[in-house]
């Protein structure tokens, strides 16, 4: 049975996971490979991205890894070149890198503000900037940017810099889509809601002031699920399946759009 991405070359940034379990980039890379894509899995952490690659190889998929920094232009140039050299094309760019640190407008330092905004916007700008010439040459491409519901909704946690950066990702993606729509290149954003990932757990530790061992994550998951109309928190696979749709030809007439993957939270938050 043919996969939805058979023969496509896909680059996933942030393809490792920052802790045990499934992060959004890791799940996306594995699902893309299961659907027939040739995957370049990129991450700053070699061990993390190797774990993702081992899963793909173990399932018979094709994957190459790239260890580099998506906020460094020279590294990004090399990353794009590695994808094209390995696979001959770049059909899908899935941007997934981001950091967060708790802080209100008063408590956030200028240094933290600058670091979060720099990383969380440049990690989308630079890969797009250097992927676009290849996509223009091909006359086609799909760009998927991971934003967040928190870019437009205050969910109660103090993440002013992170939330601002995620709103910026949507604006960037809309402008990208409008600029290249007539060139065969699509760009869309995914806005996750409350998703159970290693990064989300790290955020909980940051805001709680407790150690990981002191936090009852099961009780916390139930409390979070109660806020969501669908009465469950999301998983990295919910995000990955949405990314698969946007990467595939099933979404051929969709560009400049945002897809909320949040169990309906945006309707009530």
- Of 162, 180, 253, 260, which is the active-site residue? 162
Tokens of 235: 């998983």
Q: What is the pLDDT of residues 110-124, one digit of tens each?
A: 999 999 999 999 999
Q: Which of 69-73, 87-91, 96-100, 207-211 has the lowest mean pLDDT?
A: 207-211
What global pTM score does this model have? 0.94
User: What pLDDT score was predicted for residue 20?
Assistant: 82
Q: How far apart are CA 168 and CA 150, in angstroms?
A: 11
If DSSP codes are grouped into helix, strand and coil, which group holds residue 195?
strand
What is the CATH code of the structural domain delimited by 9-197+235-252?
3.40.50.720
Query: Mean pLDDT for the chain?
Result: 93
- Residue 133 CB: number of other CB atoms within 10 A? 11
Q: How far apart are CA 74 and CA 18, in angstroms?
A: 24
Q: What is the pLDDT of residues 28-62, one digit of tens each?
A: 999 999 999 999 999 999 999 999 999 999 999 99
If DSSP codes are grouped into helix, strand and coil, which group holds residue 107?
coil
Q: How far apart are CA 116 and CA 122, in angstroms?
A: 10
Look up tokens 């998703």; give the residue: 195
Look up tokens 């990383």; give the residue: 119
Number of C-alpha atoms within 13 angstroms, CB side, residue 175? Answer: 10
**Segments making up each domain of the chain, as ranges:** 9-197+235-252
- Binning pLDDT at 50, 70 and 90, where does residue 205 land? low
Q: What is the pLDDT of residues 69-79, one digit of tens each?
A: 999 999 999 99
Annotated catalytic, 162? Answer: yes
- 188, pLDDT greater than 70: yes
């Amino acid at each position: 049975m043919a996969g939805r991405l058979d023969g496509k070359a896909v680059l996933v940034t942030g393809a490792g996971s920052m802790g045990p379990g499934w992060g959004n980039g890791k799940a996306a890379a594995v699902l893309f490979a299961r659907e027939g894509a040739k995957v370049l899995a990129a991450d700053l952490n070699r061990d993390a991205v190797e774990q993702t690659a081992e899963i793909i190889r173990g399932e018979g998929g094709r994957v190459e890894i790239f260890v580099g920094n998506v906020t460094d232009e020279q590294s990004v140039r090399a990353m794009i070149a590695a994808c094209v050299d390995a696979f001959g094309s770049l059909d899908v760019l899935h941007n997934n890198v981001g950091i967060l640190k708790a802080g209100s407008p008063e408590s956030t330092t200028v240094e933290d503000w600058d670091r979060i905004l720099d990383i969380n916007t440049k990690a989308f700008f630079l890969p797009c900037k250097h992927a676009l010439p290849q996509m223009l040459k091909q006359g086609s491409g799909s760009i998927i940017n991971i934003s967040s519901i928190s870019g437009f909704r205050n969910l109660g946690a103090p993440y002013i810099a992170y939330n601002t950066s995620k709103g910026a990702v949507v604006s960037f993606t809309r402008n990208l889509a409008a600029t290249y729509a007539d060139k065969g290149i699509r760009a869309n954003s995914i806005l996750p809601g409350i998703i159970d990932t290693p990064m989300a757990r790290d955020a909980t530790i940051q805001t709680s002031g407790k150690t990981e061992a002191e936090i009852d994550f099961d009780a916390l998951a139930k409390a979070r699920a109660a806020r969501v109309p669908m009465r469950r928190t999301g998983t990295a696979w919910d995000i990955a399946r949405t990314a698969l749709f946007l990467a595939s030809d099933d979404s051929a007439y969709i560009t400049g759009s945002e897809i909320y993957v949040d169990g309906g939270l945006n309707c009530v938050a």
